[in-house]
Structure 1
Amino acid sequence: MTSTLPPPERAGLARARISARTLRTDRWWVAPLLTTLGLTAFLVYGLARALQQDHYWAADHGYLTPFYSPCIAAQCAPEAAHFGRLPFEFPWWLPYAAISLPFLLLFRFTCYYYRKAYYRSIWQAPTACAVREPHRRYTGESRFPMIGQNLHRYFFYIALVISVVNTYDAVLALFHGERGGFGIGLGNLVLLGNVVLLWCYTLSCHSCRHVFGGRINSFGRSPVRYWLWTQITRLNTRHMTFAWITLGTLVVTDLYVALVASGTVSDPRIFN
């Protein structure tokens, strides 16, 4: 059936030509700005600490910062190299934890939440609702290098292994009491708290949720996996929160270990 309605131009309904980037009057730019500043601050701090290659190991208490774990370079302190050292020294520009840091950064870079964060704030695609983006066309994640975002599911498995390594580091530090044996200091609580929150972030990942429930045709036939999927789903609703909290706890943990290792502060002991 042929429509008898007149074309929009003839009916006076032509699209309005608006030269302004947006007609919004609220401070829509605040959230993207804060996101950019937060991500930039973490990257600058992390890069500086990774290249510093010092004050990463508090020998008296067995505290190893997660920025240097696992410490595998030949320059690493022998006690800090929980999984052994390579037989050669790294150049000054290569972090001691070169085996883990790239994968951790890629895991976060390809994370569904972080994509949203830096797409909107840094890449401005789009910056905010009803705000015109500065790009002429949209190609999505169908071309190099953005097609690499699809590797996130594989980085998730590596992040799981690194989370186990960080947990091992935190537990091992409990057996470095002042008199030998088991002991607890403020640094132990900092390390353990950071590990717990890192697990919350890792397990709340969308890829983790898919692993447990993405290919099940009937939850009724898989009650255990269904229960695990529901628990992960609860965490998943707070994935953005954990993404930001863990950026903060990583910095706090690393800074605390650096201050103790350098002798700037002493570690208060709670037990032994």
Structure 2
Amino acid sequence: MATGIEPSPQAGATGVQDASRAAIPARHLRTDRWWLAPAVTAAGLLAFIVYSTWRAFANADYYHAPYVSPFYSPCLAQNCETMHGGPNWELFGSWWGLSPALLILIFPLGFRLTCYYYRKAYYRGFWASPPACAVAEPHKKYTGETRFPLILQNIHRYFFYFAILVAGVLTYDTALAFRDEHYNWGHMGLGTVVFLVNIALIWAYTLSCHSCRHVVGGRLRHFSKHPVRYRLWGWVGKLNERHMLLAWSSLISVALADFYVFLLATGAFDDPRFF
């Protein structure tokens, strides 16, 4: 059927400009502000990258009894501030002279970098691959995640296991947030609420992961023979529907939890107590 648009061969052209594709002079036919979503995404991710980099290398103001920043827990080096009763494992001993946050952030960072949603977010926001639906990417060829370094995205499922461990440690830290500055139980302050909200969002985001959904319900031929796994798969599936919202919410909450501890540690204000 004739469309009125004839192919226009271009020497060396690839992708949407290939000779086999319809020749459309305009880069795209969208009239809305399609660039807004990737621009906001890039700005949000860049803001978190700048903030987390600053805090990770600061190596200070990350502990105020009974709270410890989620960026610095568990502590794997000997040069940590004293965290009475907290997870100080000192696996790297005294030779590690840099910020102890650099030893632990690789795991939650790796989990988020390889996450299916975050891939979409930064592929579009930073690499314009593609920048938006029905908008051609500026790259001459597309290899997907079949070559180095993007083929490393396939290790996402392994980072998921580490993310479970980190979430477990942060859950323990949240339990310790119910102590006062003298490490007596029965305390509840604003920081306790901040940590409760943060760990709830971290668990929701972690469990909404596509890899978690596969671990729970993958490789099953008959759900009827595995009712427990089917029920769990259904629950994870409901979380997975909100994976993008949980990804952003948990990203913001973990930064806010760290910033709250920073404000307490620098003496900006005292933690308001409820009881």
Q: Shared fold by TM > 0.5?
A: yes
1:225-244 Cα shifts (integer Å, max 9, x gaps): 11111011000000000000
Letter in 1 for 2:206: T
Aligned counterparts of 1:47 and 1:89: Cα–Cα separation in 2:
22
Give the CA deviation at 1:177. 5.5
Aligned counterparts of 1:201 and 1:179: Cα–Cα separation in 2:
30
1:158-184 Cα shifts (integer Å, max 9, x gaps): 100000011011101212366823211
1:123-272 matches, within 5 Å, as 123-176=127-180, 180-271=184-275
Query: Quick check: 1:36 aligned with 2:28?
Result: no
Q: In the alignment, what sits opposite 2:70? A: 66
1:81-160 matches, within 5 Å, as 82-85=87-90, 86-91=92-97, 94-160=98-164
Query: Quick check: 1:14 aligned with 2:2?
Result: no
8 Å contact from structure 1 (residues 205, 239) kept in 2: yes
Number of aligned residue pairs: 259
Letter in 1 for 2:41: T
8 Å contact from structure 1 (residues 109, 115) kept in 2: yes
Aligned counterparts of 1:179 and 1:51: Cα–Cα separation in 2:
28
TM-score by length of 1: 0.90
Query: SS at the partner of 2:177?
Result: helix
Aligned counterparts of 1:12 and 1:128: Cα–Cα separation in 2:
26
Distance of aligned partners of 1:179 and 1:142 in 2 relative to their CA distance in 1, 3 Å threshold: closer
1:90-143 Cα shifts (integer Å, max 9, x gaps): 33xx43133321111111000000011111111111111221211000000000
Aligned counterparts of 2:119 and 2:27: Cα–Cα separation in 1:
23
8 Å contact from structure 1 (residues 70, 99) kept in 2: no
8 Å contact from structure 1 (residues 75, 89) kept in 2: no
Letter in 2 for 1:124: A
TM-score by length of 2: 0.89
8 Å contact from structure 1 (residues 73, 90) kept in 2: yes
Distance of aligned partners of 1:269 and 1:151 in 2 relative to their CA distance in 1, 3 Å threshold: same
Give the CA deviation at 1:12. 5.7
Letter in 2 for 1:253: A
Letter in 1 for 2:32: D
Distance of aligned partners of 1:248 and 1:12 in 2 relative to their CA distance in 1, 3 Å threshold: closer
Query: Quick check: 1:24 aligned with 2:16?
Result: no
Q: Which moved more, 1:187-196 or 1:76-85?
A: 76-85
Counting aligned pairs with the same residue, the percent is: 51
Gaps of 5+ in 1: none
Letter in 2 for 1:18: I
Give the CA deviation at 1:210. 0.4
Letter in 2 for 1:224: V
What root-mean-square deviation, in Å, do the aligned CA atoms of Structure 1 and Structure 2 show?
1.8
Query: SS at the partner of 2:274?
Result: strand
